[in-house]
Structure 1
């Protein structure tokens, strides 16, 4: 046996090397060393051959991206990011669509309310209904209504200068009594029918009240003048009335075109808004707005129900308030102001107010139904989501 460190020959029983002093260890026999050496050499040779073969061998390209996606954790992270980006993008698009639909809803509401009110005017206001309303008025109340600074009878008295037509000195009280007992309501009803038919329906030529017609009114009430004034009016009195009316240009002042010039609003063209062709076009445009909203929100039922419900609801409120103002607001305003316009309007707009109130209530009911259906589906969807969450939690 030899020393492992210095190669000195040692005895079989030696524990330490006599030369270097190191502890002696058993050495593998030569045969085993040779076998071990051969194995080591063979392993090195085989490893070298494998290394050479590996260098010359074709290695296919491996798609690391697909490999990463096949990894469950990386795949989950990849799809989570993609879904988040898509949801974020869809959220932005949805906000833009809802904003656009909101503005379309406002336009549709205003147009729908306007068309509804025009239809109510067309159905509830006509020359005949207005004339009948004038005939139902109280002449005494009409003569006492306020025209701004004085009563209606005093305004007519001052306009004609009735106290100066003769030497009798007719007072305002006597003139009021004459107007109350005359057939003034019938005369006014006939003229009102012509005015309303022209303004609303465009019938006939532009109406007016001529000086001859006004003078004839006093002539037809000759008997009433004798009772009210204490004497029967003569031809000279009627001629004086005519001259005063002509001096004040009563004919031109009562023309609708003159009203348009003074107010800046063209009453002569107002009938175009109430023609069935115009109303049909506006109604079709309203339907286009409804369809447009459905297209913008991708025909999603919950949004369609919400927008349609608001359109019907707010349009109905506007129409209802218009009718309510005509049937209740004008009488209350007359009580407070005693205005001629409020008294005449409250009497003549009763049919319109009934149509408007009924139409407004109907639209409000439809709007509430749409919104109720939308809330029902929303509650059902929320309940389904809660059930899905509960099932998912139970499975976990």
Structure 2
């Protein structure tokens, strides 16, 4: 009997493996049939992801506007969403008129001046080596020649790709245009009908676990929203005040380098070092004192951010130890590179929220079971006999 069961299970699993292998082989040979589905998912996926990011960033502002009231006047959700859209369109219009042309101008200047910057960097490096007794033993010229060659190659490739890849530019423009049309529509309905999302999902959930699952979804949404909105505020603060500081010290390409510092600040703890690196290279080609000024600006901005902005906006919601963040960044960087370092902290925060919420639910259920057991098995007081009752009445 045991041998028959063993042979039947072996036959079953061998058939399963054979069916899976045949399905994989068939799908690889008819991959052209799935190509339209893949292109459709690629077209739909990016607008939904960007709209979701903007939703979690702007939803707290919508909630704040809904709390504003004057006597009987209150702002409903549609009005709050309309106000947010007007503000967002105004910011985008101001950026496209005043900010983006300056950034494009500085990027083009930086790309065209890369060879001269490399030569200036080589001169300053040779001066530093000649004045230092320790660095004289190091052959810096060969490294600088390799560095100059790599920079010139990157500059030539960049300029040639801009001039030759006309088809890529056209396809990019069309995809950006489609996304610019679809993202505001998706975002509007996300912000307007977000309160209907959880009741619509709760209909398909089992009744017993419905409150716990709904509460978990709300907790996850609050965690993601607080992290994204806080991270955007922090990056805007760092980028804006770093650019202002660079302009005050007359740092070349100050606006572009400030934007780079703000974008790099998405990565906790390591972002400031990544953001200051290009600014230090540019400052080193100017003078050693300019390097000192750049370091002073970055230290002041990062101190204000680390002591005021980050603890009050992100630190209260996440409550993650700095050592945990560093370990997560190192692990995620080795696994998935820069994208993993950006997504590691919000992913860990969501998983941590889920684990804590489930642990609290289990503890509450255990406490309820203990209460039920104590109420059921609580010893009842013994009934008095008839004789004692009669004696009490006589007395």
TM over 0.5, yes or no? no
TM-score after normalising by structure 2:
0.30
The structure with the largest helix share of the pair is 2
Structure number with greater Rg is: 1
Pick 1 or 2: higher relative contact order, CA cutoff 8 A, min separation 6: 1
